[in-house]
A and B are shown apart, each in its own frame.
Chain A
Amino acid sequence: MSEIQFDALLPYTLLAASSMVIILLIAFRLSHTVIQVVGFLLLCLVIAALLKVRSSLPIAILPLFQIDGFALLFTGLIIFCVSIIGLLSYIYFEEREENPKEYYILLFLATLGAAILTISRHFISLFIGVELLSVSLYALIGYLRTRNNAVEAGMKYLVLAALSSAFLLFGMALIYMDAGTMEFAAIAQKISGHPATSPLVIMGAGIMIVAIGFKLALVPFHLWAADVYQGAPTPVTLFIATVSKIGVFAVLVRFALAIDLQHYPQASTVFSILAIASMIVGNVLALRQQNIKRLLAYSSIAHFGYLLVAFLTGGGAGVEAAFFYLLAYSITLLSAFGVVTLLSTRQRDAEDLTTYRGLFRKDPLMAAVLTVALFSLAGIPLTAGFPAKFFVLTAGVRLHLWPPVITLVLTSVIGLYYYLRVISVLFEGSPHLEIKERTLHPFFYTATYATLAALLLLLCLLGVFPGSIVEGIRAYLLI
């Protein structure tokens, strides 16, 4: 590895070192607050490193990694999400007083896994990333082990994720058997040479789709989603919904770009069926939910269906639309789950819809954040979700993908119903919301409130002026 390559890898080595630093801090018995602050500073360092390496890109570190603008964008988004999740975790875990420190090690390791996925160009690095991510998640999901659903959720995820890893490995092996290589580019070359794709590759790819579909919670591999979302601690739920899916989606896109998915009509058909099924099932299952975490779980299934529409179009415009969608979706979920975290009490999470009745009276800012977030998920103008959905639709219409596009439109009308249901609960009268006792240091509350307000502003800004962001994304993707 040359020096330039080493430099380019800097953000990722920093990220790996971060978890070591956290371990050391714990060894020295430093307080939760110190760990929290240091963790945040480390993430800032990673961001700085990302900006620093930008000028020397793209760089390939053969055979495993490819660091380019695409990777920077996705890694940046992941780090951004993690920094906010970290902030939310402080309040959440400090209140529960269940030895929260080791949590941060796992969080950083999982982040590292997701980040590695964004730069991998080889099956081995893909697998390492996926495993780092899932193994940390097993522990994270069950972290509050004394709570009712935590262990159930952790077990469920463990069994299914292990199964999907096995599928992933088997799929890779099959493709390797035919192509004789594990590099994306080389595989692409091998299989495009033959006029007819060999059955081994088809089978391998099919099995890998199962594994990827599981990680992204696409229908019909979505059965774990609602239970895990509900059982996991809220910040971890947020992590699964954003970071872990961003990472897996990034590697999926990179693989699709490498092998040029458009040239394989069967693959496109499979993905459009997955997209259509996810949109329909996700939205329909969310309709009657009374638990906001489960509701958001089903809605995120639907949203990855929408995202697949952009993915299906492939090429520059598709990636651009998909990334913008992910950005809007992440900010939206961060603000929605942020509100859930802040309202959670020590005994239980604020997941029942009745807890939110009359929130607008009690705490207008929280209610406003949640309202705007839900509108954004529904794709209403003035919020980030609107341009996001618009770009996805644009990408879809451009390539005449009528069945998924029309499903998108119709199911988002269904989706409106349950978003509006939550919103109208917020504005209902008869507030019997118990005011939470604020035992923690006020600084963290102020910081969290300020962050949520900033996210709210960001959502509106993205909604009204998406132009410059799109230009920025385009510029990065060209690197």
Chain B
Amino acid sequence: MMLPGMIMTLLIGGLLSWMAARWNAVLSKWIALLAVGADLSLAGYWWFHFRDAASSGSSWFIDFQTGWIPSFGIGFHVAMDGLGLVLLLLTFFLGILAVLCSWQEIKERTGFFYFNLLWTLAGISGVFVAMDLFLFYFFWEVMLVPMFFLISIWGDARRRYAAYKFFIFTQAGGLLMLLAILALYFIHGRQTGTYTFDYFSLLHTSLASSVSRWILSGFLIAFAIKLPAVPFHSWLPDAHSEAPTAGSLLLAGLLLKTGAYGIIRFVLPLFPRESAAIAWWAILAGVIAIVYGALLAFAQTDLKRLIAYTSVSHMGFVLLGIFSFSEIAMQGAVMQILTHGISTGALFVMAGMLKERLHTRDIEQMGGLWTSMPVMGGAALLFTMASLGLPMLGNFIAEFLILLGTFSASVPLAVIASFGLVLSALYSLRMVRKVFLGPADLPLKDLSVRELLILAAMSIGIIALGLYPQPVIDMVRTTVRQLVTR
């Protein structure tokens, strides 16, 4: 009952927060904070509770099942393993920061904003625990609608265009995935006589290779759009740059991760042979994303767009790690999911803070901010270093593990991917130079306590992951090992 409870907390919290805003906007913020905080502490409790179970090699910690639409074999089946737990922890961690960083930014329709924020989080956490493919698709779609509102109501000047593009891209992928799920459902039903959407039953479907290629591509397109892999990435810069800060944080930190999660959880186990067959192409797509994203990031003048393109580049590493089919690279991919969520999230948060002060995202109009905002400058430098893969910070571990694993899969591609690190140094340093260095211009207020708190939490996270990543690696080991040995 704990897992549905976790999702219900967010759903009900969202509704309450919407209602509360009619009387008092501050109350609605606190309700949102409390709801996410409750879930974060729940996930934290699980972490300590299941740590021993994870190291002893049991894979599923919690499993909850009940009927939903029995006549179609649809059940409400949620379960959590190490991977799910790690991602849930990330979800609520970033969720609470998203609530905090919109504390001052959102001034109108506060209640509805927090309602959408919490429902997006509910959809995302649902995606990470759903073990029924129909339910998975359900949550996959549920997170879109509130996100659409977040972008289209509280976004920047071109928000409507960005919101449409985001929604239509992901929905197109989602519907193709739905077709693939249905095809799988009927094939499995014909083979065994029981029609069900349950993940664990569908794992045992044997597919003819001609059919499975089509089904695989249905899933893969949906996840590649979300990830995003080149050439399905064009929604991302628009959506990220137009969304409000909390929206960008959730998009970069969590929504992209659902794509990676989908590949790890569904594509690899359901289609082991076919995914091995396309592995080289997937790695190639990853490498292209790394280089292409980095080059485009270098050329941007809009701060949020720049960070958005670094996401494309970093998520390329995830693709690389997943399709290398070695345990070490897969661990790296999981680490990359976490560290990219934190580091890029932090960069977006800072871009939001700058925008609140300067009312622009154009880096040509910034410069010399270090003089007036030394604390933020320091934090920005830390996260820029993290994102270019400096040792001691989380991203280094992740990218190192991925490259190590990829090297055994394909030497030339691993070499090209490593050049991505050089490129990332280029764009990161250019960003810091343009924004923070140079002649001082305007006097600005440095970080407030709330903002400092947000950045401090993220800094601690990224440094902890960089210095001692072992607990995470232990937590997901069983899941990863099952995938690789399959």
Q: Determine how close the nearest CB of chain A comes to the CB of B273; give it in whole angstroms.
A: 23
Q: A8 vs B320: C-alpha distance in the bound complex, in angstroms?
A: 68
Q: Which residues of chain A have C-beta atoms less than 8 A from B149's C-beta?
A: 427
Instruction: Pick the residue among B168, B179, B185 that contacts A416 (CB under 8 A).
Output: B168
Contact present for A397 and B186 (CB under 8 Å):
yes
Q: Determine how close the nearest CB of chain A comes to the CB of B139; give it in whole angstroms.
A: 8
* Beta-carbon nearest neighbor of B160 in chain A: A424
Q: Which residues of chain A have C-beta atoms less than 8 A from B144's C-beta?
A: 380
Instruction: Pick the residue among A375, A381, A382, A467 that contacts B69 (CB under 8 A).
Output: A467
B199 at interface (Cβ–Cβ under 8 A)?
Answer: no
A98 at interface (Cβ–Cβ under 8 A)?
Answer: no
1/0 per residue, CB under 8 A from B, across A392-428: the answer is 0110011000000110011011001100110010010
Contacts A470-B71, A474-B71 given; indicate if A427 touches B179 (C-beta within 8 A).
no
A229 at interface (Cβ–Cβ under 8 A)?
Answer: no
Chain B 152-169 interface residues, beta-carbon cutoff 8 Å to A:
152-153, 160, 163-164, 167-168
Contacts A397-B183, A398-B186 given; indicate if A381 touches B168 (C-beta within 8 A).
no
Interface size of B as a range: 20 to 34
Instruction: Pick the residue among B67, B74, B134, B145 that contacts A380 (CB under 8 A).
Output: B145
A471 at interface (Cβ–Cβ under 8 A)?
Answer: yes
Q: A391 vs B74: C-alpha distance in the bound complex, in angstroms?
A: 12
Q: Which residues of chain A have C-beta atoms less than 8 A from B168's C-beta?
A: 413, 416-417, 420
Contact present for A393 and B182 (CB under 8 Å):
yes
A100 at interface (Cβ–Cβ under 8 A)?
Answer: no
Contacts A467-B68, A467-B71 given; indicate if A417 touches B164 (C-beta within 8 A).
yes
- From DSSP, what is the main secondary structure of chain B's interface residues? helix
B141 at interface (Cβ–Cβ under 8 A)?
Answer: yes
Q: A406 vs B176: C-alpha distance in the bound complex, in angstroms?
A: 9
Contact present for A413 and B172 (CB under 8 Å):
yes
Chain B 21-80 interface residues, beta-carbon cutoff 8 Å to A:
67-72, 74
Q: Determine how close the nearest CB of chain B comes to the CB of A6; give it in whole angstroms.
A: 36
* Beta-carbon nearest neighbor of A383 in chain B: B145
Contacts between the two chains (Cβ within 8 Å), count: 70
B171 at interface (Cβ–Cβ under 8 A)?
Answer: yes
A466 at interface (Cβ–Cβ under 8 A)?
Answer: yes
Contact present for B182 and A394 (CB under 8 Å):
yes
Q: Which residues of chain A have C-beta atoms less than 8 A from B171's C-beta?
A: 413, 416
Instruction: Pick the residue among B71, B163, B172 that contacts A424 (CB under 8 A).
Output: B163
Instruction: Pick the residue among A393, A417, A421, A466 that contacts B178 (CB under 8 A).
Output: A393
Contact present for A397 and B148 (CB under 8 Å):
no
Q: Which residues of chain A have C-beta atoms less than 8 A from B160's C-beta?
A: 424
B138 at interface (Cβ–Cβ under 8 A)?
Answer: yes
Contact present for B145 and A412 (CB under 8 Å):
no
Q: Which residues of chain B have C-beta atoms less than 8 A from A393's C-beta?
A: 178-179, 182
Contact present for B179 and A406 (CB under 8 Å):
yes
Q: A413 vs B221: C-alpha distance in the bound complex, in angstroms?
A: 15
B354 at interface (Cβ–Cβ under 8 A)?
Answer: no
A386 at interface (Cβ–Cβ under 8 A)?
Answer: yes
Contact present for B175 and A413 (CB under 8 Å):
yes
Interface size of A as a range: 20 to 34
Q: Determine how close the nearest CB of chain B comes to the CB of A381; give it in whole angstroms.
A: 4
B106 at interface (Cβ–Cβ under 8 A)?
Answer: no
Contact present for B69 and A470 (CB under 8 Å):
yes
Q: Determine how close the nearest CB of chain A comes to the CB of B321; give it in whole angstroms.
A: 31
Chain A 450-479 interface residues, beta-carbon cutoff 8 Å to B:
465-467, 470-471, 474
Q: Determine how close the nearest CB of chain B comes to the CB of A411; give it in whole angstroms.
A: 10
Q: A280 vs B265: C-alpha distance in the bound complex, in angstroms?
A: 35
Contact present for B153 and A427 (CB under 8 Å):
yes
B142 at interface (Cβ–Cβ under 8 A)?
Answer: yes
Q: A424 vs B148: C-alpha distance in the bound complex, in angstroms?
A: 10
Instruction: Pick the residue among B70, B163, B179 that contacts A420 (CB under 8 A).
Output: B163
* Beta-carbon nearest neighbor of B123 in chain A: A381
Q: Determine how close the nearest CB of chain B comes to the CB of A396; give it in whole angstroms.
A: 9
Q: A375 vs B167: C-alpha distance in the bound complex, in angstroms?
A: 12
Q: A386 vs B74: C-alpha distance in the bound complex, in angstroms?
A: 14
A390 at interface (Cβ–Cβ under 8 A)?
Answer: yes
Contact present for A405 and B152 (CB under 8 Å):
no
Q: A60 vs B288: C-alpha distance in the bound complex, in angstroms?
A: 69
Most buried by B among A375, A381, A386, A416: A381
Q: A390 vs B148: C-alpha distance in the bound complex, in angstroms?
A: 22
Q: Which residues of chain B have C-beta atoms less than 8 A from A413's C-beta?
A: 168, 171-172, 175
* Beta-carbon nearest neighbor of B173 in chain A: A413
Instruction: Pick the residue among B70, B141, B163 that contacts A386 (CB under 8 A).
Output: B141
1/0 per residue, CB under 8 A from B, across A416-456: the answer is 11001100100100000000000000000000000000000
Q: Determine how close the nearest CB of chain B comes to the CB of A187; give it in whole angstroms.
A: 33
Q: A398 vs B188: C-alpha distance in the bound complex, in angstroms?
A: 12
Contacts A394-B72, A420-B167 given; indicate if A381 touches B179 (C-beta within 8 A).
no
Q: Which residues of chain B have C-beta atoms less than 8 A from A381's C-beta?
A: 138, 141-142
Q: Determine how close the nearest CB of chain B comes to the CB of A404; give it in whole angstroms.
A: 12
Contact present for A412 and B175 (CB under 8 Å):
yes
Q: Which residues of chain B have C-beta atoms less than 8 A from A471's C-beta?
A: 71
Contact present for A427 and B152 (CB under 8 Å):
yes
Q: Which residues of chain A have C-beta atoms less than 8 A from B70's C-beta?
A: 467
Contact present for A409 and B138 (CB under 8 Å):
no
Contact present for B141 and A405 (CB under 8 Å):
no
Q: A421 vs B142: C-alpha distance in the bound complex, in angstroms?
A: 19
Q: Which residues of chain B have C-beta atoms less than 8 A from A424's C-beta?
A: 152, 160, 163-164
* Beta-carbon nearest neighbor of B144 in chain A: A380
Q: Determine how close the nearest CB of chain A comes to the CB of B196; give it in whole angstroms.
A: 13
Contacts A/B (CB < 8 Å), 23 sampled? A381-B138, A382-B142, A382-B145, A393-B179, A393-B182, A394-B185, A397-B179, A406-B179, A409-B178, A409-B179, A413-B168, A413-B171, A413-B172, A416-B167, A417-B164, A420-B148, A420-B167, A421-B164, A424-B152, A424-B160, A424-B163, A467-B69, A471-B71
Q: B residues bordering A, Cβ < 8 Å?
A: 67-72, 74, 134, 138, 141-142, 144-145, 148-149, 152-153, 160, 163-164, 167-168, 171-172, 175-176, 178-179, 182-183, 185-186
Beyond known contacts A393-B179, A420-B163, A421-B164: 10 more, CB 8 A cutoff: A380-B141, A381-B138, A394-B72, A397-B179, A397-B186, A405-B179, A409-B175, A416-B168, A424-B164, A467-B69
